[in-house]
Amino acid sequence: MKTNEYIEKTKKELVHTYNRFDVIFDHGKGVYLYDNEGKEYLDFAAGIAVMALGYGNEAFNEELKKQIDKLIHTSNLYYNTSVCEAAEKILKISQMDKVFFTNSGTEAIEGAIKSAKKYAYSKTGHADHEIIAMNHSFHGRSVGALSVTGTEHYRTPFEPLMGGVKFAEFNNIESVKKCITDKTCGIIMETIQGEGGIYPVEEKFIKEIRKICDEKDILLILDEIQCGMGRTGKMFAWQNYGVKPDIMTCAKAIGCGIPVGAFLMTEKVARYSLEPGDHGTTYGGNPLATTAVSAVIEQFEKQDILNHVNEVSKYLWEKLDELTEKYDFLISHRGKGLIQGIETTLPVGEVSQKALDNGLVVITAGKNVLRFVPPLIIEKKHVDEMLFKLEKTLKTYL
């Protein structure tokens, strides 16, 4: 079949929930993707911050192959060695105490919400508790996750959603204080807002939130699904601020392409929240998924990913700063580590398409931001190549 035939057949057969670019990716190697006709693309999207180790990592792939031949699934009615090993590793790097493995980031958010509500129920004996979320946030597309997603156009077609949610302004402590009542059981936010436009949390803000939560026995839930797993130069973004959450969600890069997520909690939360029968999953934490988690963490250590990110992200920052200064239609540059964004007056969807035509994969965030979330293994030479291809794209607007 020709490329256009594959595309038309896919459009006919799949529910139309994505406006896909007209490219069929066939395979990848390192930080490059190749389409079905052999064209090479430099990848600065990493499958939306998923493929932290890039493509074709032999050690990672071998671990998955061995596990496929050994055991893929048994259900959570039984123990398996893979989940035990993955739990130990992820708890160590996250500094948390308990973990529940899910199939996705959205499911991790659902579990975090339920955990916070059950914690408050156990403490008070009643169930009418509230959660504070942030405007312009994104936490997922299930009903529960949409309920705490602070972007109206995602929520409107599916209302009424879960009740008891109030929205505050990100990085505005007074806005949060106005939302707090004696029913507030949790405050949920991304440590770095991703879909909302690449906005890192301010240190003063997150520390004041932590203080309020401690004083009022409110649980701080940090969504690290996109910004976690080494992307900021720390294993998790909150570790840059020294502000530990009560519950944390993660997914994406913890499986590097294998569908797996997790929500983690402190011992205090675990003691008063979920019990047998409160929550479950058929596939979550199965041997294949948790083998992926263990293999990813092992590769992070062997490749010294964190130090590498800290080094190469500074170079990316400098180059994107220079680029932003160079063109009037580039308004501002923000981010942290290898999650950076450039705000622009250009039509970002069109820019992404033109960049793709020039052999560069770069995605958008919000309505006016170009998002840079490459594999964490990129080198300075890849930053230079990206800039060459991006500038080639931008010059068409002069």
| pLDDT by position in tens, the chain (length 398) | 889 999 999 999 999 999 999 999 999 999 999 999 999 999 999 999 999 999 999 999 999 999 999 999 999 999 999 999 999 999 999 999 999 999 999 999 999 999 999 999 999 999 999 999 999 999 999 999 999 999 999 999 999 999 999 999 999 999 999 999 999 999 999 999 999 999 999 999 999 999 999 999 999 999 999 999 999 999 999 999 999 999 999 999 999 999 999 999 999 999 999 999 999 999 999 999 999 999 999 999 999 999 999 999 999 999 999 999 999 999 999 999 999 999 999 999 999 999 999 999 999 999 999 999 999 999 999 999 999 999 999 999 99
384 occurs within a structural domain = no
Please tell me whether residues 150 and 171 are part of one structural domain: yes
- In sign, the C-alpha dihedral spanning 359, 361, 362, 364 is positive
Domain end residue (candidates: 283, 302, 321): 302
Structural domain containing residue 289: 59-302
Clarify whether residues 73 and 217 are in a common domain: yes
What is the distance between the alpha carbons of residues 136 and 213, in angstroms, rounded to a whole number?
22
Q: Note the pLDDT of residue 1.
A: 82
181: which residues sit within 8 A by CB, 6+ positions away? 130
Question: Does 383 reside within a domain?
Answer: no
Within a domain: 377: no
Same domain, residue pair 21 and 73: no
Same domain, 34 and 82: no
Same domain (yes/no): 348, 320: yes
Which residues partner with 78 through β-bridges? none
Residues 121 and 225 in one domain: yes
Do both 271 and 203 map to the same domain?
A: yes
- Residues 76, 23: one domain? no
As for how many domains the chain has, the answer is 3
Name the helix (H) or strand (E) containing 265.
strand 261-265
Q: Put the strands of the sheet holding 339-344 in their side by side order.
A: 330-336, 339-344, 369-372, 363-365
In a domain, 346, yes or no: yes
**For residue 393, is it within any domain?**
no
The radius of gyration of the chain's CA atoms, rounded to the nearest angstrom, is 21
Non-local (6+) Cβ contacts of 228 within 8 A are 191, 235, 236, 237, 248, 250, 252, 253, 254
Rounded to the nearest angstrom, the gap between the alpha carbon of residue 281 and the centroid of all alpha carbons in its chain is 21
Residue 165: phi and psi, rounded to 5, are -115, 130
284 shares its domain with 339: no
Residue type, 114: K
**Backbone φ and ψ of 220, nearest 5°:** -90, 120
Question: Is the same domain home to 286 and 354?
Answer: no
Query: Do 279 and 176 fall within a single domain?
Result: yes
Cα separation, 93 vs 99, in Å, equals 12
Secondary element (H or E) of residue 26: strand 25-29
Write down which residue in 302, 331, 347 finishes a domain.
Answer: 302
Say yes or no: 151 and 249 in one domain: yes
